[in-house]
Amino acid sequence: MKKLLAIFAALLIVSACNTQDSIVNYDTNESVSTAKQFIPLPEPKDASLLKQFTITGVIDNVNGGSLTIDDSYTATDGRNVTVYATIDFGPASFSGGDDVSYDISMTVDDETTSETFYPHIVFQNAPTYNVTYTGLDLTNVDPSTVDFVFMDSDGNVEYISYDGINVDVDSGTLSVSNAKLPHFSRYGFLN
């Protein structure tokens, strides 16, 4: 009987470790299984409107700085879809001293409520990110399960710190306030 229980326990442990999708908690590096995806954007009325919104600027370590995207398009159902995104860097955001500066790029995805930041760097003092989408179709979104996270190319997810998320299904508004980005990569809203 003990041999049978030991085999069962070993099989349980092996099967539990073979998860394809995982979430990593930034504070504890804890992995959790997930099949969540970024919340989609409405399709544009005209295929020529399908584009990524991008802004690039030089941020230096002495003064910091900010980048802002304020753009919109018309969806197939006639709604005006807008995105207002801003990232703020304080002084000493980068390691390496006062002489350090980076060409920073922020791109809002054209299919999902996600954003990609370049170059891929880790910050000494995390920049603050705010984004608001309006005109979304959130009828299949459960506001209680929405989160704003980092997701790598393998689908692994890392929770990040922020002050709050607003999900207004009726008005189609989705936003995050004061998200702290510990490094640059791809961030977005999961449901």
Q: What digits encode the pLDDT tens for the residues 11-47?
A: 333 333 333 333 444 444 444 445 678 999 999 988 7
Q: Which two tokens stand for residue 159?
A: 């929770």
Average pLDDT for 163-175 = 97
Rounded Cα gap, residues 89 and 104, in angstroms: 11
pLDDT confidence of 111, banded at 50, 70, 90?
Answer: very high
Cα 185 to Cα 115: distance, rounded to the nearest angstrom: 8
Return d(Cα 47, Cα 40) in angstroms, integer.
Answer: 16
Phi then psi for residue 58, to 5 deg, are -90, 125
pLDDT > 90: percent of the chain:
70
Mean pLDDT on 45-58: 82
The pLDDT of 157-182, averaged and rounded, is 97
Res 138: pLDDT: 97
Q: Residue 13: helix, strand or coil by DSSP?
A: helix
Triad 39, 143, 145: Cα angle to 5°: 75
Q: What is the pLDDT of residue 34?
A: 53
Residue located via tokens 């030991």:
6
Highest mean pLDDT among 15-19, 94-98, 162-166: 162-166
151 backbone dihedrals φ, ψ, rounded to 5°: -130, 130
Report which of 30, 38, 28, 9 is spatially closest to residue 191, judged by C-alpha positions.
38
For the record, the structure tokens of 37 come out as: 């995806």
Going by pLDDT thresholds of 50, 70 and 90, the confidence category of residue 146 is very high
Mean pLDDT of 159-180: 97
Is residue 41 within 8 Å of residue 112, measured between CB atoms?
yes
Phi, psi of 9 (to 5 degrees): -65, -40
- The model's pTM: 0.80
